[in-house]
Amino acid sequence: MRHALVTGATGFIGRHLVRRLLSEGMAVKCLVRPQSRVEHLDGQDVAFVQGDVSDTSSLQRAMQDVDVVYHLAGLTKSVSSRDLMELNHKGTRNVSLACSRLVSQPTLVVVSSLAAAGPSVGSQQRVEADEVNPVSHYGHSKRAGELAAMEFATEVPTTIVRPPIVMGEYDLDVFQWFQMVRKFGFHLAPGFVNYHYSMIHADDLASALILAADRGGRLTGNVEDNAGIYFAACEEVMTYSDLGRLIGDCVGRPHARMVHAPMLMVWGLALGCDLWSRIKKSPTLFNLDKAREAAAGAWACSADKLRSHTGFEPAMSLENRLRQTAEWYIQEKWL
């Protein structure tokens, strides 16, 4: 039996990955902090190991007798850009360092983000060979994490997976789109250009991560080399208008309208949210960093390389995944 360690197992994507690993017969350890909420993992055959990505000694203990480490722990939003860099950069470096100190190094799969590469140009989908151009604090922190992993690539067999927008059961971010369309009958889009976006369901991302560990290429340590780096996304790309209409159909609002917000209004809302988050000392879903990404244009990427190297294929179309997600939100009375 193979053994896996998952950091960030209590998060949205982590829940899906743990379930998939167990279904494939893996023995799973979950790195959890003392304050972590683990109720959703209760009843599953996992081992909880107390530790933190800021503590390399706890990481090394957790990694004993492990074949694969899936590093998912990270921040997508924060009141401070320093906190993003602390966890997304230093946390990844600590995980890589801990792997390198073991007698037998496990395979390391690092979950990064399309934000680390940057927006796509025009109607073209980003590919791994494109020059990176992060535009947000989040994107820069995830790119810094990638570079940290590259430092240890000659010692630790490492693969980086960059997902775009991730949706699915338990997600709170894309849920806001469903909730707005369900409640108000419109889908809000930043600006007046109908850019294209890539998405992936968390179950399909879990499959991609497992395939990347088993069959993917590895980093070489050369910053200019894209070996061992993969985008993981559905084949279909959609505009905000496409998404709004489809979500409306999924939640019983077949005539949902698309409302375009001027970027000046988007920046004003983002500034207000940022100020409010600093007062509350708690991050908001939308902020100036997300506005930077919204203003940057399209966010589309191709999973052709991952498909070619590992045989990755999403289990369902993007449309069916959106319907599945909507049905779960309704069934669980989130909507």
Burial of 129 per CB tally in 10 Å (0-12, 13-18, 19+): exposed
Three-state secondary structure call for residue 52: coil
What is the model's pLDDT at position 284?
87
**β-strands 186-190, 257-261 pairing:** parallel
What letter represents residue 311's amino acid? G
Task: Please state the pTM of the whole predicted model.
Answer: 0.96
What is the model's pLDDT at position 280?
87
In the chain, DSSP assigns E strands to 3-7, 27-32, 46-50, 68-71, 107-111, 158-162, 165-167, 186-190, 196-197, 199-201, 229-231, 238-239, 257-261
Query: What does 319-333 look like in DSSP terms, one character per residue?
Result: HHHHHHHHHHHHHTT
Cα separation of 309 and 302, whole Å? 13
Q: Among candidates 53, 81, 90, 72, which has minimal Cα distance to 12?
A: 72
Radius of gyration of the chain (CA): 19
Cα separation of 274 and 19, whole Å? 35
Three-state secondary structure call for residue 295: helix
**What does the pLDDT profile of the chain (335 residues) look like in tens digits?**
899 999 999 999 999 999 999 999 999 999 998 877 777 777 789 999 999 999 999 999 999 999 999 999 999 988 888 999 999 999 999 999 999 999 999 999 999 999 999 999 877 899 999 999 999 999 999 999 999 999 999 999 999 999 999 999 999 999 999 999 999 999 888 888 889 999 999 999 999 999 999 999 999 988 889 999 999 999 999 998 899 999 999 999 998 888 888 999 999 999 999 899 989 888 888 899 999 999 999 999 999 999 999 999 999 999 999 999 999 999 999 99
Domain at 3-165+199-234+300-315, CATH class: alpha beta
Q: Where in the chain is the domain with CATH 3.40.50.720?
A: 3-165+199-234+300-315
Is residue 89 within 8 A of residue 151, CB to CB? The reply is no
Query: What does 174-191 look like in DSSP terms, one character per residue?
Result: THHHHHHHHHHSEEEEES
